[in-house]
């Protein structure tokens, strides 16, 4: 009974779980995508810091702008430390609040630079646009509009100072006309909110494109995984070489049969050397697309028979490459041998039956006459030995003819209840009564699953087959000493339930040729054997819709396995209803 391995599968994503892209990466658990977002923040803040620092170089060292830029630089360094920590620990980081703080400091620095350069008299109000762009990219619509509103408030406060509004912070800006302030305020605030809207739209499109790209990548990976899994699970080997003769596709069976690890980019000759003849490889390289469709039968270094189909691929007259299909026809070869053996055995059986019938009658007359002569008063011992030899050999010929007739006869099973426990008990009793059995040297062991197996079959045929096989097992024991085992258990197959009967021994075993030919009629390795015992067993087991196999290793013993259908009692039908 084969064991089943259940490999540990990898955790698969939960389809009900919201997409991580639906929330900002800085608010979700760390991921590779979040890492890229944080890195983008760091790079954008470093660039912004460089712009502000360069702008503030003209200010006094004691100015407020210089101090704010120092704070801004420290927050940028904190960003970098946060990103490295998150990347290494793969955990969530509070970068959302940190980013809000960064933008706030940035707005204050830009306001200080703007106010320090006489407000509306300078163009430093455009610095607010950089922050609004960043907020739109990282916080999308809400963040961009909030930042634009804050920038508008700061910019508008400067306009009120230009109109003479008293300031408690000591900020003084030159007086401007109301029209000038109104025009500047309208242009800049319109620009602020337009940039906020455009940056948030651009951010949304980038997010949608990222999702689409991620979905396409996942679909591509799934397709590649599915295609590779299907190819590796095929019972057929597959190789594809492109128009340059380089390997592009391969699967696991082809690697196993070629006995080498294949890599993409290997040449045709390097891949198939040792499997195909050199002249075939040279012909393929020379003819390229002109090489015709070819089928070959070869044998690998591990003696696996392969049927190879070679197909040249072209499209619109352009040479694309060549496909090799490698088909293992080991089972087909076995089936062909089995069919040939069955046909030969059928022919021998029919012929044997006719010959046996013709010989048996005159043989009976010869044997009867010899017995009469033996009973008569013969003059010499030589005459008596000759007559006894005739009687003995006639009996042996009669056994052979009986075996031939049994083998050739179509015996219809008489199904009734079968108890394997009772049959094993009968077999052991008959073995112990055999003249070749020595209870001091031979041990008979029994194993029956659950104590007994009962089903519908022909018990007489089963007893005859098991007794024949068990006697062979006992006779194979070296010096008549060893163990003969009788076993039975149930097995479930696609065809339904089966009763498995086993007879094994620890005798001399068989060689490879003996094992293959064991069921052939008239093949025997015994000096006094007929060669019909196992052939008849095969015939009878097949009559019960079963099969019989033999496994043997020279010097280690032999195991004969009989598989019979598990039929229901009283119906002759199998338990699965077939």
CA-CA-CA-CA torsion sign (81, 85, 87, 88): positive
Tokens of residue 91, six digits = 């955990």
CB atoms within 10 A of CB 489: 16
User: How far, in Å, are 13, 42, 151, 524, 531 from residue 527 at the CA level?
Assistant: 71, 93, 112, 8, 10
Question: CATH says 332-408 is which class?
Answer: mainly alpha
pLDDT for 361: 67
Question: CATH says 416-565 is which class?
Answer: alpha beta
Q: What is the DSSP letter of 379?
A: S
Q: Around 517, how many Cα atoms within 13 Å sit in the side-chain half-sphere?
A: 10
Q: Domain map of the chain by residue range?
A: 20-217, 234-328, 332-408, 416-565
Tokens of residue 410, six digits = 């179509």
Of 298, 315, 316, give the one whose Cα is nearest residue 307.
298
pLDDT for 287: 84
Dihedrals phi, psi of 384, to nearest 5 degrees: -65, -40
Residue 430 parent element (H or E)? helix 420-432
Residue 492 parent element (H or E)? strand 482-493
Of 41, 35, 43, give the one whose Cα is nearest residue 138.
41
By the 8 A CB rule, do 413 and 457 touch?
yes
By the 8 A CB rule, do 202 and 136 touch?
yes
Task: Considering only CA atoms, give the Rg of the chain.
Answer: 47
Kindly give the confidence (pLDDT) of every residue in the chain, 578 residues in length, as a single tens digit, with 9 standing for 90 and above: 334 343 333 333 443 333 433 333 334 434 455 555 556 666 666 776 676 667 666 655 556 556 666 666 666 676 566 656 655 555 544 446 666 777 787 788 778 778 877 888 887 788 888 888 878 877 788 888 988 899 899 888 888 888 888 766 677 788 888 888 899 899 988 999 998 898 888 888 877 887 787 777 776 666 555 666 777 777 888 899 998 889 988 888 888 888 888 888 999 888 888 888 888 888 888 888 888 889 888 888 878 888 899 999 988 888 899 999 998 888 887 888 778 877 776 776 677 667 766 776 677 777 777 777 666 666 677 777 777 777 777 777 776 676 666 666 666 788 899 999 999 999 999 998 888 888 888 899 999 988 899 999 999 999 989 999 999 899 889 888 899 999 999 988 776 789 999 999 998 898 888 888 888 877 777 766 667 788 888 888 988 989 999 999 888 899 999 999 988 665 444 443 33
Strands 442-448 and 482-493: parallel
Residues 348 and 531: their CA atoms lie apart, in Å, by 13
Q: What angle do CA 121, 123, 127 make, to 5 degrees?
A: 135
By the 8 A CB rule, do 113 and 52 touch?
yes
CA-CA-CA-CA torsion sign (133, 139, 141, 142): negative
Of 334, 331, 397, give the one whose Cα is nearest residue 363.
397
234-328 and 332-408 in the same fold: no
- What fold is seen in the domain 234-328? Beta-Lactamase (3.30.450)
SS3 content of the chain, % helix, strand, coil (to 5): 55, 15, 25
Residues 455 and 574: their CA atoms lie apart, in Å, by 9
User: Mutual orientation of helices 533-543 and 459-475 as an angle, nearest 10°?
Assistant: 150
Strand partners, 551: 559
Residues 519 and 539: their CA atoms lie apart, in Å, by 10
Q: What is the DSSP letter of 329?
A: -
User: How far, in Å, are 193, 418, 543 from residue 114 at the CA level?
Assistant: 19, 105, 105
pLDDT for 110: 78
The answer to whether the pTM exceeds 0.85 is no
């Amino acid at each position: 009974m084969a064991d089943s391995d259940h490999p540990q599968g990898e955790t698969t994503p939960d389809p009900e779980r919201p997409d991580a892209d639906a929330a900002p990466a800085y608010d979700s658990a760390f991921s590779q995508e979040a890492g890229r977002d944080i890195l983008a923040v760091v790079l954008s803040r470093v660039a912004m810091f460089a712009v502000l620092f360069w702008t503030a170089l003209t200010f006094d060292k004691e100015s407020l702008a210089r101090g704010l830029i120092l704070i801004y630089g420290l927050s940028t360094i904190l960003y970098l430390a946060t990103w490295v920590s998150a990347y290494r620990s793969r955990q969530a980081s509070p970068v959302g609040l940190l980013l809000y703080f960064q933008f706030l400091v940035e707005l204050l620095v830009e306001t200080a630079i703007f106010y320090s350069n006489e407000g509306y008299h300078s163009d430093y109000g455009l610095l607010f646009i950089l922050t609004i762009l960043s907020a739109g990219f990282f916080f999308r619509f809400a963040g961009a509009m909030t930042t634009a509103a804050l920038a508008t408030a700061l910019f508008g406060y400067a306009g009120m100072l230009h109109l003479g509004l008293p300031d408690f912070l000591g900020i003084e800006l030159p007086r401007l006309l109301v029209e000038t302030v109104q025009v500047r305020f309208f242009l800049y605030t319109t620009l602020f909110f337009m940039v906020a809207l455009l940056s948030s739209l651009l951010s949304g499109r980038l997010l949608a494109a990222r999702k689409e790209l991620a979905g396409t990548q996942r679909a591509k990976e799934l397709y590649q995984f599915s295609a590779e899994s299907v190819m590796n699970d095929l019972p057929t080997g597959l190789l594809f070489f492109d128009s340059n003769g380089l390997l592009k596709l391969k699967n696991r069976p082809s690697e196993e049969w070629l006995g080498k690890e294949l890599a993409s980019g290997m040449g045709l000759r390097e891949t198939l050397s040792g499997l195909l003849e050199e002249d075939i490889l040279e012909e393929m390289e020379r003819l390229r697309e002109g090489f015709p469709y070819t089928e070959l039968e070869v044998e690998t270094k591990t003696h696996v028979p392969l049927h190879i189909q070679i197909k040249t691929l072209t499209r619109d007259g352009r040479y694309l490459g060549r496909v090799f299909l490698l088909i293992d026809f080991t089972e087909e070869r076995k089936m062909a041998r089995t069919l040939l053996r069955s046909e030969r055995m059928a022919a021998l059986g029919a012929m044997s039956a006719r010959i046996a019938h013709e010989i048996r009658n005159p043989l009976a007359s010869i044997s009867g006459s010899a017995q009469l002569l033996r009973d008569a008063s013969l003059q010499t011992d030589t005459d008596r030995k000759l007559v006894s030899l005739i009687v003995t050999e006639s009996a042996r010929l009669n056994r052979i003819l009986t075996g031939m007739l049994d083998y050739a006869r179509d015996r219809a099973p008489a199904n009734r209840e079968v108890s394997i426990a009772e049959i094993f008990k009968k077999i052991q009793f008959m073995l112990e009564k055999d003249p070749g059995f020595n209870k001091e040297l031979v041990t008979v062991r029994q194993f029956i699953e659950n104590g007994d197996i009962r089903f519908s079959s022909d018990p007489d045929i089963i007893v005859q087959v098991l007794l024949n096989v068990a006697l062979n097992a006992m006779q194979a024991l070296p010096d008549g000493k060893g163990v003969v085992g009788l076993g039975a258990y149930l097995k479930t197959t696609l065809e339904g339930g089966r009763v498995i009967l086993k007879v094994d021994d620890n005798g001399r075993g068989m060689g490879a040729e003996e094992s293959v030919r064991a069921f052939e009629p008239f093949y025997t390795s015994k000096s006094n054997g007929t060669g019909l015992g196992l052939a008849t067993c095969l015939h009878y087991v097949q009559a019960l819709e079963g099969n019989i196999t033999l496994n043997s290793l020279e010097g280690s013993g032999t195991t004969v396995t009989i598989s019979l259908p598990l039929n229901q009692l009283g119906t002759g039908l199998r338990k699965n209803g077939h």
